[in-house]
Structure 1
């Protein structure tokens, strides 16, 4: 390996993205070197238009730029052209003058940058008379392609969900395209490079459309056609030849359509598929479509079209069944061993016309029988009609299920588990986080947190993937986003979702409870839910150093805080209106979902928090006047919070864990009041035998507030608690994901409720960021966000012998871990990627007693600024891997 290398060049977070519409794409790269203390001093970027050898058509050459920036470097060349591939490469110089070679060549390709470039027409099946059991539509067209083809690219979208086919093959591996957005304002289109699929001569293109979120059942009120009553597709294929000629094949009135084997397909209810109606060659040029009818063309707005922003949903892994169960009720049930989201693929032999029914559920009831009560109106059912004549393999198209258990009805012949595969589907985000520790149950908790994210990050951050809901609840998203950003690269995912939040935000600045707003009759805008408008973009900035998302969302962020200011009897308190409060708090009154913490206390706490984040955002963006305005708002709100909710002697008026956690986490109290609040919180937990009582609002902040205020051991005892209510209670009950309720399944096996009892609901998985940030000690410094400057401060705790976290940042892999050695000393391991620095605290260390790699600190390469403090040894590290060993006092 060369001494200095540039690796993994990306554009807009992605490797070689197709069809982007950013006017100035941001480029980034990582640096690889075996040496310690490597930092970039300068870079050079070359961008060419269509020439991957950079021999001609170089449109932007930065020359040697003195800068240590290696992420979010904005393209600064001439205005980009539509439908054009731009190649780029990077080289760097380090602080010692060492020059790297060029990186591997990467590219981005632009999409259709102007709505006028869409010459295709929206095509639809003839309108049907309101039948709910609506089959999918198949539309097709033949066309000719000549010799000398250079490139073929399809741009496509739909009202509904669609699949593309070309010459008998499915195009791409994206599922549930075009995704779910605020369709009236933002509709994504997808780009496909189909050059290898085009044949010289006659070709055929086809598209299948289903209801999806656009036209199918959405929400528990079973509303249909939320966005429109007609499915439609928009398809545009561009053929570019070596001699410069271009041809376009577009959806228009010349296409023909029919129905096929997909007789019904709904997000909630599943799919009915009649294999006898399959047309294997329907998207080939030789197919006889004499019985097909002309499509209808629709006049629909194309100005709302935007390029795909996040990664699409895909099949990301397969899992195999772990067992076959005969329940006491006589049911035949397959156990997948994991609560998963996606669908079941199976192979079967059956006579033509034989109907198989497959139902999906998360759990078995206390008697061991198949349980679907918590699905409410969602059917989650697959009906498959065999075509006969041999083995046939099937998997669904426009639906997904949340399940661990699968009940088979009318399944022919002997059941062979080898014929069944669980196909796990979610937005194809890059995994970035790993955590492990000495406690197996906590490792299982980490597993469950990860699978909760997998199951609920399917194009939008859903609240549950099984019942008749699956909506993008804002409160759930904001409490989990920090954990999510440890585990996966969620920047494009949340950037896209925040665009929809901004689009669906009401004119008065209030924010719908779910995004996209699938509950249009619900105008309630609750604290902690609407605050997602501020917390989520700020978190993306902290985790990825992304200032563009702050710029794009800043008006939305301000509008939310301004909306709050207009509420209530006092502009510095929020004491009116509807609020979800500490949702599902265990201290709620009988029959209530809302915890005991006063809703005006919670609302005012989040008011102060969001105002402060808007002020910080304004500072980052260089908007000094706004920064001062919202800093003043925060100061006034904090002052009023103290007047309203803190007694003259410094006691919070609300004796709840959530009230105290929020006051500490949001810095709403200080001095002696802060110390008293922290001590009171710890005492409440101790008096409750180290059990929590918090709901959705308090839980994410509880352990952080304790660890930060000097009660880290109390936080650790909460995390290690095994009795209900606790995180480990569900683990011991056999959970493989995070539950919606602390007691979704009670100790006696009975269930909390049918009405709202998801067993895959990620909100309480927000404890994950405490495992990373506090226990393992891995965090970023807000002053140099995106892990440009890393904070390493592991906090060992009783009950743990070691903890280790790793995170693949935009600069490379960061690691922080500690271990108690057999001789009683503490070992701390740190990995710092090139072009970053880390501020490290070695807890309980004495400066004279620390060795790194067997050497005294003074002799250790890459270690600087060593100093003794009350909490240990503080030092600064350049890039590289380090191992510190020392006698730890009081740790």
Structure 2
């Protein structure tokens, strides 16, 4: 596969993390997207690629490979009576993991094609691995598995409605849009309080509700965002999410006014964190945050892979939030340039070889709080450029441009954000 996405910034540890994500993808994209290349999980696990596909589609031209693998998913799904297997090809249909309906893993049938459509224009369980769960029982997570499943059900139903409308299946689109509205109301009634809090009161529950836009009012959403930020501070900015929550936690923070909290989480070096493996000399992404313990010994848990790309889904946030690039229309014919500096970073650059040509954004903080942003737009494409301080939002065609503006209030705020001793606000 051709390398298409590149990222660098002023923090060498962040650069090392990004390199680790790239190497983990390279080690696991051999014929099919595997979870790890060195043991019994050397299979096409559906959950891993479901959460990693946006990152994968940015880093490499993997549209053909994933489209081909999705055809295998369809065949195995039919063979299993409509249920998506945990692995494809389904070499475990006779055990130990029969095909059973479950969130995140089964959602691969909608969310990977949705990613392929956005990136390439192609139309054609619970919070697993929560770091607070026992090593031998990774499914014993703090977030209710039913809540995770229901949140994904609402979200995916909305995606199905959009896909149907793109395919001109108007009747199906209307049907699923109505179902999405109904399911969203049921989710609100069951899981969200009038004040906006989520009954599970975990980072995963709040992040999913925020990113999937499951609240009824802006006031509820604001309260939930503040609660999420407080829980992140209380956990001392260490990761407290598992398989379902980790890909969305930083997005949820930065989209609701807590960009500095997201940067603080990204840069945290205590375990569990994205940077902890980097401090231990990791050259790939690990399956567990602590696959290697503080004393240099190996985690005694059964699942301790040192090459497992799923937690590397954070690179999608790095591309979209630090670098500032994300697609607005299929095949990147229109894209957003909206960098959100923070975390003490002085500059960042991100490039993507889109179907239309090279897309590039580079920003640098000059004297004081002034930011200079350089943008390259390929032929037959347009970019919506948004400066952090909101001073300018402009749509431009092909060419190379330079913009200058200030930082937003978050980036100019206190750094680093402080941890809390209690969940209720004592610093």
TM > 0.5: yes
State the 1:592 CA deviation.
Answer: 2.1
Structure 2 residue aligned with 1:834: 379
User: Which of residues 214, 231, 246 in structure 2 aligns to 1:668?
Assistant: 214
- Mapped partners of 2:276, 2:135: distance in 1: 22
* 2:370 is the counterpart of 1:825: yes
CA contact (8 A) 2:387 2:405 kept: no
Compute the displacement of 1:628 (Å): 0.7
Question: Are 1:772 and 2:319 matched, yes or no?
Answer: yes
Summarize the Cα distance change of 1:612–1:525 in structure 2 as closer, same or farther, 3 Å threshold: same
Distance apart, 1:822 and its partner CA:
3.7
Whether 2:357 is the aligned partner of 1:812: answer yes
Instruction: List per-residue Cα deviations over 1:421-449 (Å, max 9, x = no partner).
Output: xxxxxxxx110000000000000001000
The answer on whether the counterparts of 2:47 and 2:105 sit within 8 Å (CA) in structure 1 is yes
Residues 513 and 525 of structure 1 are in contact (CA less than 8 Å); yes or no, is this contact kept in structure 2?
A: no
C-alpha distance in 1 between matches for 2:185 and 2:54: 28
**Pair 1:753-2:300 in alignment:** yes
Pairing 1:538–2:114 present = yes
Conserved 8 A contact 2:135-2:302 = no
SS in structure 2 at match of 1:505 = helix
Structure-1 separation of matches of 2:135 and 2:269: 24
User: Which of the residues 402, 407, 419 maps onto 1:883?
Assistant: 402
1:462 aligned residue (17, 20, 34):
34
Structure 2 residue 193 is the aligned partner of structure 1 residue 617:
no
Instruction: Tell me: CA distance 1:754–1:681, structure 2 relative to 1, closer, same or farther (3 Å).
Output: closer
User: Match of 2:425?
Assistant: none
Q: What is the deviation of 1:876?
A: 1.1
More strand by share: 1
CA distance in 1, matches of 2:324, 2:385: 9
Higher helix residue share: 2
Tell me, in whole angstroms, the C-alpha distance in 2 between the residues paired with 1:806 and 1:449. 16
In the TM superposition, residue 887 of structure 1 has moved relative to its aligned partner by: 4.2
For residues 764-786 of structure 1, give each alpha carbon's deviation from its aligned partner in whole angstroms, at most 9, with x where no partner exists: 000001000111110110xx311
Does the Cα contact within 8 Å between 1:720 and 1:799 map onto a contact in 2? no
The separation in 1 between residues aligned to 2:41 and 2:145, in whole angstroms, is 25
- Distance 1:675-1:464 versus aligned 2 partners, 3 A rule: same
Deviation at 1:523, TM superposition (A): 2.5
Query: What SS does the corresponding residue of 1:872 show, helix, strand or coil?
Result: coil
Is the Cα–Cα contact under 8 Å of residues 117 and 331 in structure 2 kept in the other structure? yes
Deviations, residues 811-851 of structure 1 (Å, cap 9, x unaligned): 0010112111145421111110011111110111xxxxxxx
- Decide which of 387, 393, 405 is 1:874's aligned counterpart: 393
Aligned position for 1:520: 93
Are 1:608 and 1:634, in contact at CA under 8 Å, matched by a contact in 2?
Answer: yes
Could you tell me the TM-score, scaled by structure 1's length?
Answer: 0.45
What is the aligned counterpart of 1:704 among 248, 251, 259? 251
Contact 2:247-2:311 within 8 A present in 1 as well: yes
Residues 194 and 220, structure 2, Cα contact 8 Å, conserved in 1: no
The question of whether the paired residues in 2 share the 8 Å contact of 1:657 and 1:692 is answered with no
- Structure 2 stretches lacking a partner, 5+ long: 412-427
Once superposed, what is the RMSD of the aligned Cα atoms?
A: 1.3
1:827 is paired with a residue whose SS is strand
Matches within 5 A, 1:669-688: 669-670=215-216, 671-688=218-235
Structure 1 504/707 Cα, relative in aligned 2: closer, same or farther at 3 Å? same
Matched ranges for 1:337-736 at <5 A: 429-506=1-78, 508-521=81-94, 522-547=98-123, 549=124, 580-588=125-133, 591-594=136-139, 595-670=141-216, 671-736=218-283
Structure 1 unaligned residues grouped into runs of 5+: 1-428, 550-579, 845-870
- Choose 1 or 2 for highest CA Rg: 1
In structure 2, relative to structure 1, the CA distance for the partners of 1:887 and 1:512 (3 Å cut) is: closer
Q: What is the Cα deviation at residue 590 of structure 1?
A: 7.0
1:511-563, Cα deviation, whole Å (9 max, x unpaired): 1011111110212232100000000001000011112x2xxxxxxxxxxxxxx
Cα deviation per residue 1:842-886 (whole Å; 9 max; x = unaligned)? Answer: 111xxxxxxxxxxxxxxxxxxxxxxxxxx3311111111112233
Q: How many Å apart are 1:806 and its aligned residue?
A: 0.3
The size of the alignment, in residue pairs, is: 404
For residues 449 and 482 of structure 1, the distance between their equivalents in structure 2, rounded to whole angstroms, comes to 13
**Relative to 1, partners in 2 of residues 1:745 and 1:643: Cα closer, same or farther, differing over 3 Å?**
same
Aligned mates of 1:889, 1:474 — CA distance in 2: 38
TM-fit CA distance, 1:634: 1.1
CA contact (8 A) 1:455 1:465 kept: yes
Distance change >3 Å, CA 872–CA 510, structure 1 → 2: farther
